[in-house]
């Protein structure tokens, strides 16, 4: 595996591979790699001739009181894990490489950035959209791989690619979970053993939503209230939001009958804020979402 810190050498390397007719799969990450990231890497390797990952903790997607400085970083460990998975190239730029002095351009996906995570973390998705656009321009991948755990991010990037005619196919990959259901996340490392046990309340809430809908519940307000009560029953948990929304627009739904609904959660376990989601539908309704993933 080759590691690149600068844009020019990476572009030269990839230009040579494309001249040989090779396809490029790309997995952008903020490092602290875990089994969820490795699943994305394995999918990229199965689909493409060349697999590239980036490791970059993007400062522009963190708010002033968020955990940018404390976000877990261990490039040596990430390099070993990526190499063991057969990654061809790892791009690990500095902040100055991606945001040189005088940088003043940003990208924003307006409507999808205004709700859920975007409403609670102003500027977050502007930072995501900007850095992903830059990385796509640098790597120019044929396919890029994103986990459904960050569903709103996935939807936003699909829209970004379509709206800006970026010739990259976005490949969604199902959420990877621990045996007890907790969605894998780099932020799980912040949890104490007691908080780690409490964090399973997110998955239990998603399971309960599915049970209610399959049992015939159709009122999203009632289902939301029951999920909020379930989360409140965990002493270490504090709900930030429980939302039942349309899976393509992220706007609130008025009924859970005869359609697929996204249940999106944000919950604080102690000082750690975790998100999770699930697509649910009544019995007999296939869980299929529209995909915007290719320009």
Residues with catalytic roles? 37
Residue 266 CA, distance from chain mean position: 14
Pairing assessment for the beta strands 89-91 and 169-173 based on DSSP bridges? unpaired
C-alpha radius of gyration, the chain, whole number: 19
8 A C-beta contact, residue 47 and residue 143:
yes
Residue 25 three-state SS: strand
Exposed e or buried b per residue across 54-73, where buried means at least 16 C-beta atoms within 10 angstroms of its C-beta: bbbbbebbbeeeeeeeebbe
Q: How far apart are CA 268 and CA 87, in angstroms?
A: 34
DSSP for residue 64? T
Instruction: Please count the helices (runs of H) and the strands (runs of E) in the chain.
Output: 10, 9
Taking the CA atoms of 197, 118, 29 and 56 in sequence, report the sign of the dihedral they define.
Answer: negative
User: Is residue 28 within 8 Å of 141, Cβ to Cβ?
Assistant: no
């Amino acid at each position: 595996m080759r590691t690149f810190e600068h844009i020019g050498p990476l572009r030269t390397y990839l230009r040579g591979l494309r001249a040989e007719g090779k396809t490029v799969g790309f997995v952008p990450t903020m490092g602290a790699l875990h089994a969820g990231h490795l699943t994305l890497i394995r999918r990229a390797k199965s689909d493409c001739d060349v697999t590239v990952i980036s490791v970059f903790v993007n400062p522009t997607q963190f708010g002033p009181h968020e955990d940018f400085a404390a976000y877990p970083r261990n490039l040596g460990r990430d390099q070993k894990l990526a190499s063991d998975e057969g990654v061809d190239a790892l791009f690990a730029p500095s902040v100055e490489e991606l945001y040189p002095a005088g940088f003043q351009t940003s990208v924003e996906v307006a409507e999808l950035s205004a709700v859920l995570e975007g409403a609670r973390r102003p500027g977050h998705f502007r930072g995501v959209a900007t850095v992903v656009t830059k990385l796509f321009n640098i790597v120019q991948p044929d396919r890029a791989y994103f986990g459904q755990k960050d569903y709103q991010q996935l939807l936003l990037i699909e829209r970004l690619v379509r709206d800006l005619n970026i010739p990259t196919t976005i490949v969604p990959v199902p959420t990877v979970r621990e045996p007890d259901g907790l969605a894998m996340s780099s932020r799980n490392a912040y949890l104490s053993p007691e908080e780690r046990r409490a964090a399973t309340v997110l998955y239990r809430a998603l399971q309960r939503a599915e049970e209610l809908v399959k049992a015939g519940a159709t009122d999203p307000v009632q289902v939301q209230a029951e999920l909020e009560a379930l989360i409140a029953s965990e002493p270490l948990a504090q709900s930030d939001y429980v939302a039942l929304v349309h899976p393509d627009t992220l706007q609130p739904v008025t009924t859970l009958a005869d359609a697929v609904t996204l249940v999106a959660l944000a919950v604080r376990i102690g000082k750690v804020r975790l998100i999770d989601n699930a697509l649910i539908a009544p019995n007999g309704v296939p869980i299929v979402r529209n995909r915007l993933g290719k320009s």
